[in-house]
């Protein structure tokens, strides 16, 4: 019986010595099956030559031409510019890093073959540092037989090494040499081809397949592999959920009297969606294993109040709860709201952030340690070394995608090692996001959590009317502000953004706008808030704005979440083209909270990319966060929408949640069958596709 590829070490391959073995291990490649499942990240089409005259800006293409000139050019940067031509046009090859030996290779009248990205500037067409092959007197370019795979790699491993190793492995690949891990009856039901055929297609695409066929995901062999990885991830998350539910937690009894009193004292009625989610949470808290629930809903739907009801039950049972927010401003806003809600119930709320004064911080730490503080609101400061909880029973994480795996893990570890707990009980966990995620996507990416959706807005909230205008009309916008403040008694947000994510530069932009508006609208009261201000200053300015003592608040995107000023009914967002749909929707959610009709002006700087035009049109056309999330998913992809790209978490090695969404119902439907009828396959699937299962966890 022949060996399976999973049983054959990479060291058996030609060209693999100790150093290469070590490098491959860094990519979790130890055997030939690992090598086969190290799938291409993209493909290069080197099967044809593109005429220079047909090249489009941004296109990656291969050209063939005769060298006309090669000169060193001195501009902002010294560069070597070589002009090559074919029958259709002239192309500039530009090198910023070169030696004089390289310059001598460009001999007039000889031919080169180049592969790279095309750039148009006016009438000039160029490639910067393309791959160059000098053909000397050979006037026939070398062409690949089909698409060429490009692999994720690590320092010291070149593409040609992978090409060689994969070729050797593919040559030994057959249906018997690699194990099918999906049940045979499922493969037949879904009409999936053999795994070996799918792997062979991806590593060595046939001549008759196009890049579009692969990228679209419609090909049955592509779907075969995507389905297996989606299934592995779903099963891994389900395993994590079972593992967490094996822990013990405090069963929190529902304190109905204080619950009803709290509900009665609210100045507004809960929506039916809020009441439904509160019931789901209270049922979870009553169990003796940890709640793990994700609450998602649109901006302004009332998620924070839902969390407050959960924390009320915890406090009424004489335990502590902690809420971790991603920014100081949001933590401070939550703190103010919770103090207002709980002041008549004898429940102490404390704030803990890194920028607090030393005296205030010592007092907060003491209240947390003694258990005097029943509700703790803070930033990442809540899991720092000096923090000692007394008796934590609930952890609430707001905007969880803004925290990395390690930050969430640190808070949980700190919580179940609280003084009276002594690690014997695990806290309940409530995760909130104001970024609506399409349900099917959420059920897949967050399969380790129970999902609650607040899909209803408080009654009476008017939709925000949004307009998109060029910043050439800035003077007219400022005139509109003057009228809105003086005649309509409106309050206004003016939000500054920068393409550079530097907080310091964004603050400088806000300060410049503050100076400009203060001078041009001298009769109005203008305030400024940004991330460099001390906590006390930010709190003072926000309190002034909320009290109506400021007409205009110039701010950076620090006000994206958490700020609630019902009288603010107009928002101007500068350079909205620099932000994603989700962030724009979050910002717009700061207005439309009062009785007046609210407006949002998106003031862009031309020219706009196609993506930017699409985003701004979506913002103008809808206020529905779930529709916006769907569009955001189409434009930016699942990694951005879920926040995994920013935190460094990798969702999938091959599957794509947007491309492969149609497979998800079948994945969900068959996951339980595999888990119950073929438990031995669950471990094998997870081992094949998921190298670090704990990294998947959201709790």
User: How many helices (H) and strands (E) in the chain?
Assistant: 25, 21
pLDDT digits (tens, 9 = 90+) for 596-634: 899 999 999 888 888 889 999 999 999 888 788 778 777
Query: What pLDDT is attached to residue 660?
Result: 87
Residue 22 has pLDDT above 80, yes or no: yes
- Domain annotation covers residue 676: no
Nearest to 290 by CA among 328, 252, 332, 335: 252
Please state, in angstroms and rounded to a whole number, the distance separating the CA atoms of residues 617 and 378: 36
**Same domain? 127 vs 153:** no
Query: What pLDDT is attached to residue 339?
Result: 93
pLDDT digits (tens, 9 = 90+) for 192-222: 999 999 999 999 888 788 778 888 888 888 9
Query: What pLDDT is attached to residue 649?
Result: 47
pLDDT digits (tens, 9 = 90+) for 344-397: 898 999 999 887 888 889 999 999 899 999 999 998 888 778 888 888 899 998
Rounded to two decimals, the pTM is 0.75
- Domain annotation covers residue 682: no
**CA separation (Å) from 91 to 61, 589, 649?**
12, 49, 40
Please state, in angstroms and rounded to a whole number, the distance separating the CA atoms of residues 575 and 422: 51
Query: What pLDDT is attached to residue 580?
Result: 83
Final residue belonging to a domain, choices 427, 454, 481: 454
Please state, in angstroms and rounded to a whole number, the distance separating the CA atoms of residues 218 and 661: 12
**Same domain? 318 vs 449:** yes
Residue 639 has pLDDT above 60, yes or no: no
Question: Cis omega (within 30 of 0) on the bond before 607?
Answer: yes
**Same domain? 428 vs 563:** no
**Same domain? 58 vs 120:** yes
For residue 21, what pLDDT band results from cuts at 50, 70 and 90? Answer: very high
CA dihedral 431, 434, 438, 442 (to 10 degrees): -10
Phi, psi of 345 (to 5 degrees): -115, 5
Residue 568 has pLDDT above 50, yes or no: yes
| Coil/strand/helix, residue 45 | strand
**Same domain? 489 vs 557:** yes
Final residue belonging to a domain, choices 409, 429, 454: 454
- Domain annotation covers residue 671: no
DSSP symbols for 641-677: HTTHHHHT----SS--TTTTGGGHHHHHHHHHHHHHH
Q: Where are the beta strands (DSSP E) in 182-264?
A: none
| Domain residue limits at 554 | 465-622
Residue 82 has pLDDT above 70, yes or no: yes
Task: Say what percent of the chain tops pLDDT 90.
Answer: 39
Phi, psi of 188 (to 5 degrees): -70, -40
Burial of 351 (0-12, 13-18, 19+ CB in 10 A): buried
**Same domain? 333 vs 419:** yes
Which residues fall within 8 angstroms of residue 403, CB to CB, at 6 or more apart? 324, 326, 380, 397, 647
**Same domain? 375 vs 444:** yes
pLDDT digits (tens, 9 = 90+) for 263-306: 999 888 899 999 999 999 999 999 999 999 999 888 778 899 99
pLDDT digits (tens, 9 = 90+) for 315-346: 999 999 999 888 887 888 889 889 999 988 98
Alpha helices in 502-580 (DSSP H): 503-520, 535-546
Which residues fall within 8 angstroms of residue 300, CB to CB, at 6 or more apart? 457, 458, 461, 589, 592, 593
Burial of 316 (0-12, 13-18, 19+ CB in 10 A): buried
CB contact at 8 A, 379 and 326:
yes
CA dihedral 554, 556, 557, 559 (to 10 degrees): -50
Final residue belonging to a domain, choices 108, 143, 178: 143
Burial of 605 (0-12, 13-18, 19+ CB in 10 A): middle
For residue 402, what pLDDT band results from cuts at 50, 70 and 90? Answer: low
**Same domain? 127 vs 179:** no
CB contact at 8 A, 458 and 306:
no
Alpha helices in 172-210 (DSSP H): 184-189, 195-203
For residue 1, what pLDDT band results from cuts at 50, 70 and 90? Answer: very low
**Domain harbouring 88, CATH code:** 2.40.50.140
Buried/exposed code over 521-550 (b: 16+ C-beta within 10 A; e: otherwise) = beebbbbbbbbebebeebbebbeebbeeeb
**Same domain? 495 vs 531:** yes
Residue 646 has pLDDT above 70, yes or no: no
**Same domain? 399 vs 541:** no
Average pLDDT on 461-474 reads 90
**Contacts for 282-285: CB closer than 8 Å, 24+ residues apart:** 282/254, 282/309, 282/310, 282/313, 284/428, 284/450, 285/251, 285/252, 285/254, 285/310, 285/313, 285/314, 285/394, 285/428
- Domain annotation covers residue 233: no
Please state, in angstroms and rounded to a whole number, the distance separating the CA atoms of residues 157 and 161: 6
Query: What pLDDT is attached to residue 648?
Result: 40
- Domain annotation covers residue 399: yes
Query: What pLDDT is attached to residue 410?
Result: 60
| Continuous segment of H or E residues that includes residue 120 | strand 111-121
Please state, in angstroms and rounded to a whole number, the distance separating the CA atoms of residues 546 and 7: 67
- Domain annotation covers residue 95: yes
Query: What pLDDT is attached to residue 10?
Result: 93
Average pLDDT on 406-425 reads 60
Average pLDDT over the chain, rounded to an integer: 85
Please state, in angstroms and rounded to a whole number, the distance separating the CA atoms of residues 595 and 140: 73
Average pLDDT on 238-254 reads 88
**Same domain? 513 vs 602:** yes
Average pLDDT on 449-455 reads 89
Other Cβ atoms closer than 10 A to 346: 9
Stretch among 32-36, 59-63, 457-461 having the lowest mean pLDDT: 457-461
Please state, in angstroms and rounded to a whole number, the distance separating the CA atoms of residues 596 and 668: 45
> Which is it for the CA torsion 511, 512, 514, 518, positive or negative?
positive
Average pLDDT on 4-23 reads 91
Please state, in angstroms and rounded to a whole number, the distance separating the CA atoms of residues 492 and 141: 63
CB contact at 8 A, 329 and 542:
yes
- Domain annotation covers residue 639: no
For residue 406, what pLDDT band results from cuts at 50, 70 and 90? Answer: low
Average pLDDT on 231-239 reads 90
* Residue of higher predicted confidence among 15 and 508: 15
**Domain harbouring 594, CATH code:** 3.40.50.300
Average pLDDT on 41-59 reads 89
CA dihedral 30, 33, 34, 40 (to 10 degrees): 140
Nearest to 291 by CA among 259, 324, 314: 314
Which of 109-113, 306-310, 419-423 tops mean pLDDT? 306-310
- Domain annotation covers residue 672: no
CB contact at 8 A, 535 and 566:
no
Nearest to 27 by CA among 42, 36, 38: 38
Phi, psi of 156 (to 5 degrees): 95, -5
| Continuous segment of H or E residues that includes residue 124 | strand 124-128
Q: How many domains does the chain have?
A: 4
**Same domain? 510 vs 421:** no
| Coil/strand/helix, residue 29 | coil
Average pLDDT on 417-432 reads 74
Residue 509 has pLDDT above 60, yes or no: yes
Residue 501 has pLDDT above 50, yes or no: no
């Amino acid at each position: 019986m022949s060996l399976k590829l999973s049983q054959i070490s990479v060291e058996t391959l030609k060209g693999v010595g100790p150093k290469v073995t070590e490098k491959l291990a860094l990519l979790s490649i130890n055997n030939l099956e690992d090598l086969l499942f190290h799938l291409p990240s993209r493909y290069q089409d080197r099967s044809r030559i593109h005429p220079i005259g047909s090249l489009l800006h941004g296109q990656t293409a291969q050209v063939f031409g005769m060298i006309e000139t090669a000169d060193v050019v001195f501009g902002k940067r010294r560069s070597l510019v070589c002009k090559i031509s074919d029958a259709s046009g002239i192309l500039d090859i530009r090198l910023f890093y070169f030696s004089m030996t390289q310059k001598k290779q460009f001999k007039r009248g000889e031919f080169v073959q180049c592969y790279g990205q095309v750039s148009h500037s006016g009438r000039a067409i160029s490639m910067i540092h393309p791959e160059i092959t000098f053909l000397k007197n050979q006037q026939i370019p070398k062409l690949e037989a089909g698409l060429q795979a490009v692999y994720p790699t690590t320092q010291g491993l070149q593409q040609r090494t992978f090409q060689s190793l994969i070729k050797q492995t593919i040559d030994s690949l057959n249906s018997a040499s690699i194990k099918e891990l999906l049940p045979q009856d499922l493969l037949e039901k879904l009409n999936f081809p053999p795994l070996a055929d799918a792997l062979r297609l991806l590593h060595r695409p046939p001549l008759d397949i196009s890049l579009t066929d692969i990228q679209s995901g419609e090909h049955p062999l592509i779907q075969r592999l995507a389905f297996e990885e989606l299934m592995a991830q779903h099963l891994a998350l389900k395993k994590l959920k079972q593992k967490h539910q094996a822990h013990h937690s405090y069963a929190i009894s529902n304190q109905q009297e204080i619950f009803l009193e709290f509900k009665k004292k609210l100045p507004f009625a809960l929506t039916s969606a809020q009441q439904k989610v509160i019931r789901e949470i209270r049922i979870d808290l009553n169990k003796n294993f940890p709640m793990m629930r994700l609450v998602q809903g649109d901006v302004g739907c009332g998620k924070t109040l839902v969390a407050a009801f959960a924390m009320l039950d915890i406090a009424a049972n004489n335990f502590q709860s902690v809420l971790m927010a991603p920014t100081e401003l949001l933590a401070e806003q939550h703190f103010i709201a919770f103090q207002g809600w709980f002041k008549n119930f004898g429940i102490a709320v404390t704030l803990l952030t890194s920028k607090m004064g030393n005296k205030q911080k010592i007092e907060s730490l003491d209240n947390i340690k003694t258990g005097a503080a029943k509700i703790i609101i803070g930033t990442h400061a809540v899991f720092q070394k000096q923090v000692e909880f007394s008796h934590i029973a609930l952890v609430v994480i707001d905007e969880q995608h803004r925290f990395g795996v390690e930050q969430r893990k640190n808070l949980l570890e700190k919580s179940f090692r609280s003084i009276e707990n002594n690690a014997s009980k695990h806290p309940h966990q409530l995760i909130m996001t104001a970024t609506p995620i399409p349900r099917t996507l959420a059920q897949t990416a967050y399969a380790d959590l129970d999902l609650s959706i607040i899909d209803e807005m408080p009654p009476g909230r008017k939709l925000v009317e949004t307009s998109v205008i060029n910043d050439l009309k800035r003077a007219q916008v400022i005139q509109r502000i003057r009228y809105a403040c003086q005649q309509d008694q409106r309050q206004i947000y003016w939000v500054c953004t920068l393409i550079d994510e530097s907080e310091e530069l964004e603050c400088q932009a806000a300060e410049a706008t503050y100076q400009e508006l203060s001078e041009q609208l001298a009769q109005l009261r203008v305030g400024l808030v940004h991330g460099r201000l001390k906590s006390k200053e930010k709190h003072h300015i926000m309190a002034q704005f909320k009290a109506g003592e400021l007409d205009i608040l110039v701010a950076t995107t620090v006000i994206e979440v958490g700020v609630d000023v019902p009288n603010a009914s107009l928002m101007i967002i500068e350079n909205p083209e620099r932000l994603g749909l989700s962030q724009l929707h979050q910002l717009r959610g700061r207005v439309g909270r009062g009785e007046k009709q609210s407006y949002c002006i998106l003031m862009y700087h031309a020219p706009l990319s196609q993506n930017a035009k699409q985003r701004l049109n979506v913002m103008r056309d809808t206020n529905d966060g779930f529709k916006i999330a769907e569009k955001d998913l189409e434009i930016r992809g699942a990694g951005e929408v879920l926040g995994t790209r920013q935190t460094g978490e990798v969702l999938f090695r091959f599957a794509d949640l947007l491309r492969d969404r149609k497979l998800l119902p079948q994945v969900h439907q068959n996951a339980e069958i595999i888990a119950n009828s073929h438990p031995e396959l669950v471990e094998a699937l997870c081992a094949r596709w998921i190298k670090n299962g704990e990294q998947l966890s959201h709790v």
